[in-house]
Structure 1
Amino acid sequence: MLRSLFLLLCFAMPLYAKDVIRLSVALEGPADFRSIQAALNSLPDNNQQAIISIAPGLYQEKLYLSRNKVALIGSGRDQTIIMIAELRQNWLKHHPNDWGSAVVNIRASDIALLSLTVHNSYGELTGDNEHQFAIRGFETATRIITDDCAVIAGGADTLSLWNKDDGMYYHRNCYFEGHTDMVCPRGWAFFTDSTFMNKKAYATLWHDGERAESQKMVVRNSHFDGVPGFMLGRRHYDAQFYLIDNTYSRNMADTPIFRHTYPTEPERNQANLWGDRYYFSHQDSNNSIYPWLASNLAKHPQALSAEHITAQWTFAGRWDPEAELAQLYLLLEQK
Structure 2
Amino acid sequence: MQKAFPFCILLLLFISTTSFADIIRLQVAQSGDAPFRSIQQAINSLPDNDTQAIIQISPGVYTEKIYLTRNKVALIGAGADKTEIRVAELRTNWLKQHPSDWGAAVVNIRASDIALLNISIVNSYGELTGDNEHQFAVRGFEQATRIITANCRIIAGGADTLSLWNKTDGMYYHDNCYFEGHTDMVCPRGWAFFSNSTFINKKAYATLWHDGELNEQQKMVVRDSHFDGVPGFMLGRRHYDAQFYLINNQYSPNMADKPIFRHTYPTEPEHDRANLWGDRYYFSHSDNKQVVYHWLKANLAEHPSQLSPEQITAKWTFAGRWDPEQQVKMLLQLNKE
SS state at 1:307 partner = helix
The percent identity for this pair of structures is: 74
Q: Distance in 2 between matches of 1:159 and 1:13?
A: 37
In 2, the alpha carbon distance for the partners of 1:83 and 1:333 equals 25
1:171-230, CA deviations, whole angstroms, 9 ceiling, x for partnerless residues?
Answer: 000000000000000000000000000000000000000010000000010000000000
Aligned 8 A contact 1:187 1:208 in 2: yes
In structure 2, the residue matched to 1:145 is: 148
Give the match for residue 4 of structure 1: none
User: 2: CA distance between counterparts of 1:70 and 1:244?
Assistant: 31
Amino acid at match of 1:206: W
- Work out the CA distance in 2 between the residues paired with 1:91 and 1:14: 46
Amino acid at match of 1:84: V
In structure 2, which of residues 175, 178, 188 is the aligned counterpart of residue 175 of structure 1?
178
Q: Which ranges in structure 2 are unaligned for 5 or more consecutive residues?
A: 1-11
TM-score (norm 1): 0.95
User: Distance in 2 between the 1:41 and 1:14 partners?
Assistant: 26
Inter-CA distance 14–310: structure 2 relative to 1 (3 Å threshold):
farther
Contact map agreement 1:131 1:157 (CA 8 A) in 2: yes
From 130, 139, 142, the counterpart of 1:127: 130
Shift of 1:14: 9.1
Contact 1:122-1:153 at 8 Å conserved across structures: yes
Q: Find the aligned partners of 2:18 and 2:72 in 1 and give their Cα distance.
A: 14
SS in 2 for 1:94: coil
For 1:249-282, what per-residue CA distance to the aligned partner results, in whole angstroms no more than 9, with x for missing partners? 0000000000000000000000000000000000
Q: Measure the CA separation in 2 of the matches of 1:76 and 1:67.
A: 24
Aligned CA RMSD, in angstroms, stands at 1.4
Distance, in Å, in 1 between the alignment partners of 2:242 and 2:38 is 39
The aligned residue for residue 8 of structure 2 is none
1:111-152 CA distances to partner (integer Å, 9 max, x unpaired)? 000001000000011111000000000000000000000000
Quote the Cα distance in structure 2 between the aligned partners of 1:42 and 1:107.
Answer: 17
Aligned residue in 1 for 2:26: 23
In 1, are the aligned partners of 2:195 and 2:223 still within 8 Å (CA)? yes
In structure 2, what is the equivalent of residue 296 of structure 1?
299
Shift of 1:29: 3.8
- Match for residue 279 of structure 2? 276
Mapped to 2, the partners of 1:329 and 1:57 lie a distance apart of 20
Distance change >3 Å, CA 249–CA 260, structure 1 → 2:
same
Secondary structure at 2:21 match in 1: coil
Instruction: State the Cα distance separating 1:15 from its structure 2 match.
Output: 9.3
Q: Is the 8 A contact 1:15 1:328 kept in 2?
A: no
SS in 2 for 1:279: strand
- Is 310-319 or 22-31 further displaced after alignment? 22-31
**Separation in 2 of the partners of 1:217 and 1:243?**
9
Cα distance in 2 for residues equivalent to 1:80 and 1:249: 29
| Superposed displacement of residue 289, structure 1 | 1.0
| Counterparts of 2:35 and 2:219, CA distance in 1 | 40
Distance in 2 between residues matched to 1:333 and 1:59, nearest whole Å: 22
**Structure 1 residues 305-324: aligned runs within 5 Å:** 305-324=308-327
User: 2: distance between equivalents of 1:157 and 1:79?
Assistant: 24
1:247 aligns with 2:239: no
Number of aligned residue pairs = 325
Q: What amino acid is the match of 2:330?
A: Q
Give how far 1:51 is off. Answer: 0.4
**Alignment partner, residue 5 of structure 2:** none
Is 1:108 the equivalent of 2:111? yes
Relative distance call for 1:82 and 1:263 in structure 2 (3 A) is same
* TM, length-normalised to structure 2: 0.95
Q: Decide whether the 8 Å contact of 1:148 with 1:172 is kept in 2.
A: yes
Residues 14/211 of structure 1: CA separation in 2 closer, same or farther (3 Å cut): farther
**Residue in structure 2 matching 1:89, options 87, 92, 110:** 92
Q: Which residue of 2 aligns with 1:226?
A: 229
State the Cα distance separating 1:333 from its structure 2 match. 2.5
Quick one: distance in 2 between partners of 1:95 and 1:144?
25
Contact 2:56-2:335 at 8 Å conserved across structures: no
